[in-house]
Amino acid sequence: MPDLSAFAITQRWPAKHPDRLQLYSTPTPNGVKVSIMLEECGLPYEAHYIDIGANETHTDAFRSLNPNAKIPAILDPHGPGGRPLGLFESGAILLYLAEKTWRFLPADAARRIETIQWVFFQMGGVGPMFGQLGFFHKFAGRDYEDKRPRDRYASESKRLLRVLETRLAGRDFIMGPDYTIADIALLGWVRNLVGFYDAGALVGWDELNEVPRWLDACLARPAVQKGLTIPARP
């Protein structure tokens, strides 16, 4: 049985199944990347709900695993060399799990790096821009009289959606016929933008054809449907 006692986070969120991968997360667009990937891969794991509204990511226990105090984070008791491995940053976790299972990342070197390129596109563009639009459109920022910040992020989010629209023309998924970690990285953010953030009108969602078609195909996957609800909110 793996010994996880060296990881302080397990004192705050004890592992009932220490032989399974431990997921510390919340079902946000970043969090569900990992739960969806775990469901797609069929890896045994144990999910721990982290209440970001109660600032649980800023506790010493959580920051012992992720000093950046953000979800998601994982603790794999069977990491490289058979030793436990703690890991944070959703993009890095996706890459790790893809390489661990040899799934959802092309073996061909050129297609592999192209897939990673689209993961980085999400990490560096889609996530930050969509998230800021959500803040200024739905959350505290909506009360600002000056709408220039909202409009700036709406304009950039609209542009990024059209980059995806062009990429998906003639393709089932980001990488063509193959569903990959690029799709897993992006789908939660696109879903949130037009769903939870209710920003479809701001970004011209009704003008798109390929992105909605792709999103529907991703959301139809059983592993995606399940992963979007994990960890369950209390």
Please give the average per-residue pLDDT across 4-12, as a whole number. 94
Task: Categorize the per-residue pLDDT at 212 as very low, low, confident or very high, splitting at 50, 70 and 90.
Answer: very high
For the entire predicted model, the pTM comes to: 0.97
What is the structure's pLDDT at 3? 84
- Is 90 exceeded by the pLDDT of residue 34? yes
User: Which contacts (CB < 8 Å, 24+ apart) does range 190-196 have?
Assistant: 190/126, 190/130, 190/161, 190/164, 190/215, 191/29, 191/215, 191/219, 191/228, 192/28, 192/29, 192/130, 192/134, 193/130, 193/133, 193/134, 193/157, 193/161, 196/134, 196/138
Q: Domain map of the chain by residue range?
A: 9-103, 109-224
Tokens 């909110």 -> residue: 233
Tell me the pLDDT tens digit for each residue of 44-102: 999 999 999 999 999 999 999 999 999 999 999 999 999 999 999 999 999 999 999 99
- For the 109-224 domain, the top CATH level (class) is mainly alpha
Tell me the pLDDT tens digit for each residue of 116-174: 999 999 999 999 999 999 999 999 899 999 999 999 999 999 999 999 999 999 999 99
What is the structure's pLDDT at 234? 86
- For the 9-103 domain, the top CATH level (class) is alpha beta
Please give the average per-residue pLDDT across 15-44, as a whole number. 97
